[in-house]
Amino acid sequence: RAVTPAPQSAHYRPRGGFRNPWVSQAVPGYGSLLKWMLVHRTTRPRPKDPDPSVFPRVRSSFVAQRASGNQLTVTWVGHASSLLQLGGMNVLVDPMWSARASPFRFAGPKRWVAPGIVFEDLPPIDVVLQSHNHYDHLDDATVRRLARKAPEATWVLPLGLRGFVRKRGVRGDVLELDWWEERTVGSLRIAATPAMHFSSRRVGDRGDTLWCGYSLRAESNRGVYFAGDTGFHPEFAAIGERYGPFDVALMPIGAYEPRWFMRYLHMNPEEAVEAFRAVNARLMVPIHWGTFKLTDEAMDEPPRRARDAWLAAGLPIDRYRQLVPGETLTL
């Protein structure tokens, strides 16, 4: 095996690798995947998607070079990819600039909307955070491009992924974190937080590397929570207690149907709102929707349902900040 996962991790088993500690049936296996692909999808009508042209893209307004130490900007690139300007530093989370979330250039989920920031227009990047190794989050070509564009950047990864980025030319510091581990990078305190998900890029590598979310805290005390890819698990309140309160939480709201399969991997919009409430944040930016068609719900359903769940929970609508790819939230 190419990676050497840390056997000291509490959620690592020599047989089967990393696993979620909360549910016995953590992640459905290949049998369920085949059942979904070959039976469920072909025998059930699927909701119709809108035309991709309904998803607009706007000109970003992040601070061109560096925001000041107490400023915070969040620019949604699309899917989970976002640019954060926090503590005077520029941070990319799950950078993905390629046309397909796939091991192939000719097949696999295709982008519906061009990345919200043209790659060449990115400001100098200080930190890159990766939540896990799925193709829609960790992209071979984007890692290589960033390694050339930002050779000094520090990469923060869950356990087991260092080799992946090193092989693709990353020469700067690479920090591998287990859940609840923290490091200081420049003016930021970064912690890896638990998530209920799995890792895999090919047959036979499931669980070889870890998955996580992140808490980022600047010296100005501004804080951001990025949930990564996750199902609904019991630790959101613990994350909020340990690292909150956050100014902004980036919460995934898409890729949740059918529930019998996806609930172990991805929250639905109602669960995302519930997790947001547990995690102790002021604003929610919904991510992981409208960019790649991964699952069975319609592409425009997640934000509608998230908004409904938000209002049903009695939360003030000005704290729900749905962005368009390219749009910048400035605090």
Q: Which is nearer to Zn ion, 136 or 176 (CB)?
A: 136
| 134 lies in the binding site for Zn ion (CB under 5 A) | yes
Contact positions with Zn ion (CB under 5 A) in 216-245: 229
Q: Which is nearer to Zn ion, 146 or 195 (CB)?
A: 195
First to last CA, the chain: 45
Q: Which is nearer to Zn ion, 229 or 257 (CB)?
A: 229
| 136 lies in the binding site for Zn ion (CB under 5 A) | yes
Q: Residues binding Zn ion: what is the number (CB under 5 A)? A: 3
Q: How many CB atoms lie within 10 A of CB 245?
A: 14
Q: Which stretch binds Zn ion (CB under 5 A): 54-62, 136-144, 270-278, 310-318?
A: 136-144
Q: Which stretch binds Zn ion (CB under 5 A): 57-65, 120-128, 134-142, 182-190?
A: 134-142
Mark residue 314 as left, alpha or beta (left: phi above 0; alpha: psi -120 to 50; beta: remaining). Answer: left
Contact positions with Zn ion (CB under 5 A) in 155-214: none
Q: Which stretch binds Zn ion (CB under 5 A): 33-41, 49-57, 133-141, 299-307?
A: 133-141
Strand partners, 108: none
| 145 lies in the binding site for Zn ion (CB under 5 A) | no
Buried b (16+ CB within 10 A) or exposed e, 165-194: beebebebebbbbbbbbeeebeebbbbbbb
Written as six digits, the tokens of 190 are: 């970064």
Q: Which stretch binds Zn ion (CB under 5 A): 8-16, 130-138, 169-177, 310-318?
A: 130-138
Question: In sequence order, which residues have a C-beta less than 8 Å from that of residue 4 and are 6 or more positions away?
Answer: 160
CB 213 within 8 A of CB 230: yes
| 327 lies in the binding site for Zn ion (CB under 5 A) | no
Binding-site ranges for Zn ion (CB under 5 A)? 134, 136, 229
